Amino acid sequence: MLQKLGKGDVDIFSPHFKKNNVVDSVLWSSGWLSNVIIIAIIFFLFYNWVPLFKTVSPIEFFFGTRWYPTVTPPLYGTLPLLIATIEISLFSLILTFPISIVVTIFMTFIAPKKIRYLIKIFLEFFSSIPSVVLGLIGLSIVSPYLQNTFNLDTGLNVFNASLMLTFLTIPITASMMEDFMVSFPREQIEGAEALGATSIETLWKVILPGLKGPFASIAMLSMGRIFGETMIVLMIAGNAAIFPTSIFDPAKPLSATIAAEMGETAVGTPHFYALFGIGVIIFFITLFINLIGESIRIKYEMEMRRN
Amino acid sequence: MNLYLKKRLRKQKIVFFTISVLAILILVAMMGIIVIIFVKGIRVINWKFLTSLPSFDFYGVPQGGIGPAIVGTFLITGLGLVFSVPLGILGGIFLSEYRTKGKLFNIMRMSVANLAGVPSVVHGLFGMAVFTIFFGLGLSILSASLTLSILALPIVIMVTENAMKNVPDSVREGAFALGAKRWQSALLVVFPAAFSKIMTGVVLSSARIAGETAPILFTGATLYLTYYPHGLNEQFMALPYMIWGLVTTSINISASTPFAYGISIVLIILVAAMNSVAMVSRFVMRKHDVL
């Protein structure tokens, strides 16, 4: 592997390294490009958020319970939006996770090879369907259905949004799980089989416990994906900035608030700054979730390498 | 076969049967979504729908077509790729070929993963703050495609990195043995070997960019144009944004919904086409794999 520096190799990060030529420098700087962009994102989000605190106190912004940016005086409390986002993400994750496990087990253990290949292709295709299309389904089919069958005031609610988000994340989650299932160490499976375990026992007692780490990281990564998803919640979460008490209440998640209100907001008003503040909240929470997911995955991979 | 084993095998059968039924139900539901879209939208699709300009009659019933939206989607996706693919490939080459164990290198890799995890609505905010306002590009095709290119960049980097890593080390060692410098082995030997795989990944990621709505919401997309855009500094229509507009802001939603389904069909066919291009090239590659 190239990871070990051999004699004659140069550590491009060492202070003694002289970039031999233009090509090395160009590659080096494009490697850093994502860092530059992340720093720029953080800078511009804060740059457009901080002026808000001339008019609104941080405590009111983070813990205020009412988001009414268009009344006088405007209220910029983001707590109900945050709660709505968390409720929708958690509920959707609770739906996504077991369903993805079932689909993965079906793919890897039960389905014949050809069908498994077809399912893989289908999942890949389904995962690239734009989320706005799922939003359309939720809006024009699921919502009237929910409203009629459960006698609700509105079919645009937390449940509907979580359900469509689940369809969005199943393909990604299942294919990540399948990758880990397939690359599970062969010796351990053979060991269990040699001891006389049936395949379900191997699955239950060897593979699934062995994959606890990766599955936790997959859960975090899907959560990060759901947390920032915009179009589905914009279209079908109900757009009401209240504390959702049941899953059949309408809600207004963070990302939907930005998407719904940014178009009608003048640049440089407190409302504009507050929407950037919501962007800061989404950015840092997803960053945090993704970092946890990544670190679990890296830890697991290092363990695997050690074995 | 003893009784105990029989019992265990019966248990296995029951569990596997339940799992199969559940999994098939879910897959059928997912296929059902696609079938519903086709059933509901197929009747609005004809040549006029695909090519003519949009128009609405007095009652808000959409009459014309989605020509500018198709053009707009292709423009911003194409331009987004033009900006992101070269830079992303260079970054991916660096991550794969100049691997070291240093801390700085890990930071670099982490930041690619983190940039890939940034929600699209935050990309939209960033694009608006930087391209539309700071650089003064305004609401335009250019600022939207630059925003999309930032969204695509980490995907291209990761695709390139993975494709390059899959090239066996013996290829690099061969190049080094012939006296190649690191950049020569990376750009002239490993990169050509990984090229078709990288392109497959790029095609797949372009399907994702084409369907994004949140990043273009505040960077230049508009719901209604009566002409095709003439330059990169003009506003544009886009397919996914038009779906959203038709079912949430239209004055006659029930008449607009079939139209939205029609656009969904176009988008799904676009995505399916990109997927099959990727699939076929993958298949061909496996047959002609030299390495």
Which residue type, as a one-letter code, is found at position A282? I
The predicted model gives A86-90 an average pLDDT of 93
Query: Sign of torsion, CA A252 A254 A260 A265?
Result: positive
Q: Which of A43, A81, A85, A49 is nearest to A271 (CA)?
A: A49
Two structure tokens written together for B243: 């779906």
Per cent of chain B over pLDDT 90 is 42
Query: pLDDT digit string (tens) for B66-89?
Result: 889 999 999 999 999 999 999 999
CB contact under 8 A, A31 and B108: yes
d(CA B257, CA B251): 11
Give the tens place of pLDDT for each residue, A18-58. Answer: 556 788 888 888 889 999 999 999 999 999 999 999 988 99
Q: Alpha-carbon distance B71 to B270, whole Å? A: 13
Give tens-digit pLDDT for B17-34: 999 999 999 999 999 999
For chain A, domains (ranges, CATH) are: 68-306 (1.10.3720.10)
pLDDT at A279: 95
Please give, rounded to a whole number of angstroms, the shortest distance from the CA of B49 to a CA of chain A: 18
Beta carbons of A3 and B126 less than 8 Å apart: no
Percentage above 90 pLDDT, chain A: 50
3-state secondary structure of A307: coil
Residues of A in contact with B87 (CB under 8 A): 30, 33
Q: How far apart are CA B207 and CA A128, in angstroms?
A: 6
Task: Answer yes or no: do A134 and B112 touch at CB < 8 A.
Answer: no
Amino acid A297: pLDDT: 85
Averaged pLDDT of chain A: 87
Q: Does A128 contact B99 at a Cβ distance shorter than 8 Å?
A: no
- Pick from B180, B64, B195: which is nearest to A21 by CA? B180
d(CA B250, CA A153): 22
pLDDT of the residue at A8: 47
Element spanning A76, H or E: strand A75-76
Interface with A, mutate which of B122, B235, B256, B281 (most A CBs under 10 A)? B122
Three-state DSSP state, B56: strand
Question: Would you call A170 and B12 a contact, using CB atoms and an 8 Å cutoff?
Answer: no
How close is the nearest chain B Cα to the Cα of A106, in Å?
6
Of A6-15, A119-128, B214-223, least confident by mean pLDDT is A6-15
Please indicate whether residue B69 or residue A2 has the higher confidence score (pLDDT).
B69
How close does chain A come to B161, measured CA to CA in Å? 11
Q: List CB contacts (< 8 A) between B93 and chain A.
A: 27
| Rounded-to-integer distance, Cα A150 and Cα A104, Å | 32
Q: Are B174 and B190 in contact (CB under 8 A)?
A: no
Structure token digits, residue A255:
């990302």
Identify whether the C-beta of residue B214 lies closer than 8 Å to the C-beta of residue B123: yes
Residues A274, A278, A284, A287: is their CA dihedral positive or negative?
Answer: negative
pLDDT of the residue at A298: 84
Q: How does DSSP assign A34-72, residue by residue?
A: HHHHHHHHHHHHHHTTGGGGGTS-HHHHHH-S-EETTSS
Q: What are B107-161's pLDDT values in tens digits?
A: 888 899 899 999 999 999 999 999 999 998 989 999 999 999 999 999 999 999 9
- Verify cis geometry, omega within 30 degrees of 0, for the bond prior to A73: yes
Q: How confident is the model at residue B288 (pLDDT cuts 50, 70, 90)?
A: low
Q: What is the rounded CA–CA span in Å between residue B92 and residue B85?
A: 10
* DSSP symbols for A238-302: B---S---STTS-B--HHHHHHHHGGGS-TTSHHHHHHHHHHHHHHHHHHHHHHHHHHHHHHHHH
Q: Is the pLDDT of residue A7 over 60?
A: no
Residue A75's H or E segment, with its range, is strand A75-76
For residues A38-61, one letter each, b for 16 or more C-beta atoms within 10 angstroms of the residue's C-beta and e for the rest, the string is beebeebbeebbeebeeebeeebb
Nearest to A50 by CA among B137, B114, B129: B129
* pLDDT, tens digit, 9 for 90 and up, residues B160-171: 999 998 888 888
Asked whether the beta carbons of A127 and A172 are under 8 A apart, the reply is: yes
Rounded to two decimals, the ipTM of the complex is: 0.90
pLDDT digits (tens, 9 = 90+) for A10-20: 555 554 455 56
Note whether A133 contacts B267, CB cutoff 8 Å. yes
- Range B68-287 classified under CATH 1.10.287.3510: no
Rounded alpha-carbon distances, angstroms, from residue A20 to A25, B141, B178, B182: 8, 39, 18, 10
Is the pLDDT at B226 greater than 90? The verdict is no
Query: Sign of the C-alpha dihedral, residues B42, B46, B51, B56?
Result: negative
Counting DSSP H helices and E strands in chain A, the numbers are 15, 2
Taking residues B86-99, what's their average pLDDT?
Answer: 91
For chain B, say whether A137 makes contact (Cβ under 8 Å). yes
Given this model, what pLDDT does residue B119 score?
A: 93
Residue B290: what pLDDT? 52
At residue B50, the pLDDT reads 87
Classify B102 as helix, strand or coil: coil
Tokens linked to B37: 């879209």
From residue A156, alpha-carbon distances to A84, A142, A234, B257, B283 in Å are 13, 9, 10, 16, 43
Strand partners, A251: A238
Set of chain B residues whose Cβ sits within 8 Å of the Cβ of A128? 204, 207-208, 211, 271, 274-275
Count CA within 13 A, CB hemisphere, residue B232.
Answer: 12
Structural domain spans, chain B: 68-287
- A23 and B183 in contact by Cβ < 8 A? yes
- A174 closest CA partner among B67, B1, B11, B27: B27
Cβ-Cβ pairs closer than 8 A, A with B, add up to 263
Q: What is the pLDDT of residue A240?
A: 84
Question: A268 CB near a chain B CB, below 8 Å?
Answer: no
Interface of A with B in 59-98 (CB under 8 A): none
